[in-house]
Amino acid sequence: MSVIEDLTRSLGEAVVLTGDRIAERHRSDASLTGRSLPKAVLRPASVAEVAAALRICDGHRQSVVPQGGMTGLAGGANPAACDIVISMERLSGIEEIDAAAATMTVLAGTPLEVAQRAAEDAGFLLPIDLGARGSCQIGGNLATNAGGIRVIRNGVARDNVLGIEVVLADGTVVSSLNKMIKNNTGYDLRQFFIGSEGTLGIITRAVLRLRPLPAGRLTALCALDSYADVVALLKRAQRALSGLSAFEAMWESYFRFNCEAEGRQFFETSPAFAAIIEQDSRGQDGEREQFEAFLGQALEDGLIGDALVAQSEKEAQAFWRVREGHAMDRLLPSLVNLDLSLPIGDIGRFAEECGRALSARFPPAHVSFFGHVGDSNLHIAFSVPDAAQETAHQVDAIVYPLVAAYDGSISAEHGIGTLKRDFLDHSRSEAELDVMRRIKHALDPNGILNPGKVLR
């Protein structure tokens, strides 16, 4: 019996889609690099169905690609024509919010924004947040250990997961739905699966940690003269602002490009660096005054050249629109967004050196830098008009060796997938890769789970 027949007999035709019933959206994640539709798409509606599907596929040595909201940027959810996709979209819903424990138990296919709203309705903040919140799913957020803009306060996805349920390649359901903040009973199984990009198991449920919902936010946009000043301001903000929830830096060309595109002029002259500082508010008296006093002192000390404090939610959003760079889309389809991590003190020097190298090789290119500097995370926006197909590879070949020379990471938050896989040795030693291969073989001996992703 073929694997498709076996799956159909066990799960039914409603779950097993083939041929014309396979939707186009299963071809590629948001990197748009996927080329093939899979030979089948499974749409399980229960953990038992996920387990049955994997057990059958493992028996047939059939490769399986898990898919969430398809918002990844590293090709991690792209199938080959010989793969079977397991789409998590029907395994969706919030199962419990425990107000005393401050936890949410949720199915993996739940869209992030749905989970965020449910948390807010219960008076909590779900701190995982990223631009793709409307379509990305919790399972994918955990499988890629998603980052985002508020990591400086509450950490990456990994730091907000208390418990996890996973189906292994052989169909074993490993349920580790812990609700406790401290739990030292043996190896921390959560950690093995979070960030493993679907190569070690398929996440089916999670217990997420909730935080107090801030009463509001205070947001400032600052103009600075140098990267050294950016780091000094970050340090000072971390000391003085106990509710610091975001610290974002934009290099001159990025800030100017986006201000012009949005038709905004925040400062008289375009500063060498712009930074957004955001603080959670507790709704107490004097918070805004303290925030403004902090900025006033930085101004007086010459650390910043100018600062604007948002007087309304709308003004704060105007700052964030520039940072989020929606206007960069006009550089599509040639736009490349690199996602790097470097020791915070070295980011300024790295950006200079990297910008010079890219501009030398591609003189007409747009190259600009921005990032979650407080989390050591730098993004590069790169675009050349009429780019050839191999341009992205040439950019990688310039940037990644430089990242390695700075002891940086070639992926801060996007993951490895297929697009960065062949560069993984720029950030990981052979000994590290060998440990990863040993773990992979221990948990997926037949190699059916998302083959070719992360590891070759």
Q: Which stretch binds its own copies (CB under 8 A): 133-141, 181-189, 270-278, 295-303?
A: 181-189
CB of 196 to its own copies, least distance (A): 6
Q: Which residues of 351-373 are buried (b: 16+ CB within 10 A; e: fewer)?
A: beebbebbeeebeebbbbbbbbb
* 174 scored as a contact of its own copies (CB under 8 A): yes
Measured CA to CA, the distance from residue 182 to residue 348 in angstroms comes to 38
Measured from the CB atom, the residue of 10 and 172 that comes closer to its own copies is: 172
Among 46, 226, 238, 359, the residue binding its own copies under the rule CB under 8 A is 238
* Long-range pairs for 420-427: beta carbons < 8 A, 24 or more residues apart: 420/74, 420/396, 421/452, 421/453, 421/454, 421/455, 421/456, 422/456, 423/396, 424/454, 424/455, 426/400, 426/401, 427/403
Measured from the CB atom, the residue of 293 and 388 that comes closer to its own copies is: 293
CB of 380 to its own copies, least distance (A): 15
Measured CA to CA, the distance from residue 28 to residue 33 in angstroms comes to 6
CB of 125 to its own copies, least distance (A): 10
Burial level of 388, CB count in 10 A (0-12/13-18/19+)?
A: exposed
Where in 281-310 is the site for its own copies (CB under 8 A)? 282, 284, 286, 290
CB of 395 to its own copies, least distance (A): 18
Among 186, 263, 363, 364, the residue binding its own copies under the rule CB under 8 A is 186
CB of 416 to its own copies, least distance (A): 6
Q: What is the DSSP letter of 325?
A: T
Among 62, 116, 204, 376, the residue binding its own copies under the rule CB under 8 A is 376
CA-to-CA separations, 244 to 120, 154, 313, 369, 390, in angstroms, rounded: 20, 10, 17, 22, 41
Among 5, 120, 422, 432, the residue binding its own copies under the rule CB under 8 A is 432
Among 9, 21, 61, 239, the residue binding its own copies under the rule CB under 8 A is 239
Q: Is 453 left (phi over 0), alpha (psi -120 to 50) or beta?
A: beta
- Tell me the HSE value of 67 on the side-chain side, using a 13 A CA sphere: 32
CB of 101 to its own copies, least distance (A): 4
Where in 65-124 is the site for its own copies (CB under 8 A)? 98-103
Measured from the CB atom, the residue of 38 and 68 that comes closer to its own copies is: 68
Measured from the CB atom, the residue of 36 and 172 that comes closer to its own copies is: 172
CA-to-CA separations, 348 to 226, 265, 301, 302, 354, in angstroms, rounded: 8, 25, 21, 19, 10
Q: Which stretch binds its own copies (CB under 8 A): 14-22, 108-116, 176-184, 310-318?
A: 176-184
3-state secondary structure of 217: strand
Measured CA to CA, the distance from residue 355 to residue 367 in angstroms comes to 7
* 396 scored as a contact of its own copies (CB under 8 A): no
Q: Which stretch binds its own copies (CB under 8 A): 217-225, 247-255, 260-268, 277-285?
A: 277-285
Q: Which stretch binds its own copies (CB under 8 A): 78-86, 211-219, 324-332, 356-364?
A: 211-219
* 359 scored as a contact of its own copies (CB under 8 A): no
Is the peptide bond preceding residue 111 cis, with omega within 30 degrees of 0? no
Where in 21-50 is the site for its own copies (CB under 8 A)? none
* 8 Å CB contact between 104 and 208: yes
* 375 scored as a contact of its own copies (CB under 8 A): yes
* 418 scored as a contact of its own copies (CB under 8 A): no
* 7 scored as a contact of its own copies (CB under 8 A): no
Measured CA to CA, the distance from residue 383 to residue 337 in angstroms comes to 9
Q: Which stretch binds its own copies (CB under 8 A): 33-41, 234-242, 308-316, 390-398?
A: 234-242
Where in 328-347 is the site for its own copies (CB under 8 A)? 341-346
* 8 Å CB contact between 282 and 209: no
* 349 scored as a contact of its own copies (CB under 8 A): no
Q: Under rule CB under 8 A, how many of the chain's residues touch its own copies?
A: 93
Measured CA to CA, the distance from residue 177 to residue 165 in angstroms comes to 6
User: At 437, which helix (H) or strand (E)?
Assistant: helix 430-443
Among 60, 90, 158, 326, the residue binding its own copies under the rule CB under 8 A is 158
